[in-house]
Structure 1
Amino acid sequence: MIATLRRDVRAVRERDPAARDVGPVELVTTWPGLQALAAHRLSHRLHRAGVPLLPRLIAHLSRAASGIEIHPAAEIGPGFFIDHGSGVVIGETARIGEDVTVYQGVTLGGTGFQVGKRHPTVGDRVTIGSGAKLLGPITVGDGAKIGANSVVITDVPANATVVGNPGHPVRIDGRKVEGPDADWIHLPDPVADAVRALGRRVVELERQVRELGGDPAAGPRLVGEPADVHELRPREGRSPAGG
């Protein structure tokens, strides 16, 4: 357990720029993500040993102090790093591999009231952006990156980048993103891409209509729509309401 905690401390130093020049004592006493993880390492061991009440009590106190909720039964590999951490929730049957990075507001949750395996399994070297929700017994492959505020309800291939709601894999400028952290500002936006494609199609269709001698603005009338705006004017001596 001590060796695992040392690796957790090293992960904070490697992945948090604010911790590069901070001593180990300050990290352990002031970094809420590290504190919550250390408390979980202890509560998880007690839970596996069959100790009653105490594991949940430790988890409860850790949540009150750090704002991070980790069920004692959740399995978390070494090198796990929670950046900031407020609002992070990790469910009972979640399994997390090695060297995983999680930002604030992330949820590894279940769906419905089923029993058994109902939380995500996350592979090694995965990065999960702020506010992302991973729901159900899905599997996230090694090296995957989950964009901020994505909602993921299906399996994620290894080394894929997932964005959107519901989340689906995309590429980043056709190249592989190196390192534990993705460039969250320049993630692809498939919805915006679709809207831009529709806009280009409309412009092309209007050009074709003009070439045929038509008026692009004169589209088909709706049912009951007057052919001329003058038909909208009320007759003399009558109000628009017919009085």
Structure 2
Amino acid sequence: MGRHRIVDFLNFLLQRVYESKPIEESFILDAFNKVVKDVNYHFPTVDELEIIDRITTSQNELALFLFRIGRELHLNNKDNLKAQIHFLMKDLCGCEIYFNSSIDTGFYIVHGEGTVIGSRNTIGKGFVIHQNCTIGHKMNGAGAGNVIGNNVKMYCNSSILGELKIGDNVIIGAHTMVNKNIKANMTIVSTSRLEYL
């Protein structure tokens, strides 16, 4: 019963899109299953009904849900359906995440406003990103993207720019720009220079 709510909810959102196109229920449910795994990676006791409530009341999980739907459409070559999900993510969540970026289980967005994850990035398990963060390239439309390890956290207004490798368990502090490779288990904070603590 709860899963029909999530399908109905997406169809409701699609009414905001000019000349929207229907999305197969199987893609919606596959995306929702991934969101459940994302949330339970960090919050194991949160059940599906609560996750649906969070999505439908525009909490952090809404942006996750829209990304996971867009990613499902991308992986299934439904290019004609992706633009409307991209529009909804920008319109409702104020963030932009390219669907050709691969983000493993445990992805979580905290206060997603202003967050941009550009194209062709590969991100591991347990990735947490806060508001106004950017993961991008040095040149638009070129490059292989960044490779980010498992359990990396980015705090507000931080950025990763380049074609970089970020190791597992890295914490990137608020207002920090990363433009060099970072080894695993480092905490990076904003100073007048890149500093490893």
Q: TM-score range by the shorter chain?
A: 0.7 to 0.9
**1:115-194 alignment, distance < 5 Å:** 115-117=142-144, 119-164=145-190, 168-171=194-197
**1:47-86 to 2 correspondences below 5 Å:** 47-86=74-113
TM-score normalised to the size of structure 1? 0.61
Please give the alpha-carbon distance, in whole angstroms, between the structure 1 residues aligned to 2:193 and 2:114: 20
Give, in angstroms, the shift of residue 23 of structure 1: 3.0
Residues 1:5 and 2:32 aligned together: no
Structure 2 unmatched runs, 5+: 1-29
Aligned pairs for 1:196-215 within 5 A = none
In structure 1, how many angstroms separate the alpha carbons of the residues matched to 2:112 and 2:57?
12
C-alpha RMSD over aligned residues:
2.3
The alpha-carbon deviation at position 56 of structure 1 amounts to: 2.4
Size of the aligned set, in residue pairs, is 165
Distance (whole Å) between structure 1 residues aligned to residue 167 and residue 37 of structure 2: 22
Q: Secondary structure at the match of 1:23?
A: helix
Name the structure 2 match of 1:34. 61
Identity, in percent, stands at: 27
Residues in 1 aligned to 2:163 and 2:193: alpha-carbon distance in whole angstroms: 15
- Greater relative contact order (Cα < 8 A, sep 6+): 2
- Unpaired runs of 5+ residues, structure 1, are 172-243
Question: Given that residues 141 and 158 in structure 1 are in contact (C-alpha distance below 8 angstroms), is that contact kept between their aligned partners in structure 2?
Answer: yes
Answer yes or no: is the 8 Å Cα contact 1:153–1:166 preserved in 2: no
Structure 1 or 2, whichever has the larger Rg, is 1
Per the alignment, residue 225 of structure 1 pairs with: none
Rounded Cα–Cα distance in structure 1 between residues aligned with 2:63 and 2:192? 29
Contact 2:36 2:51 in 1 (8 A): no
The question of 1:93 aligning with 2:136 is answered no
Q: Is the 8 A contact 1:101 1:128 kept in 2?
A: yes
Inter-partner Cα distance in structure 2 for 1:144 and 1:114 = 27
Instruction: Tell me the TM-score normalized by structure 2.
Output: 0.75
CA contact (8 A) 1:56 1:72 kept: no
Q: Are the equivalent residues in 2 in contact too, given 1:33–1:68 (CA < 8 A)?
A: no
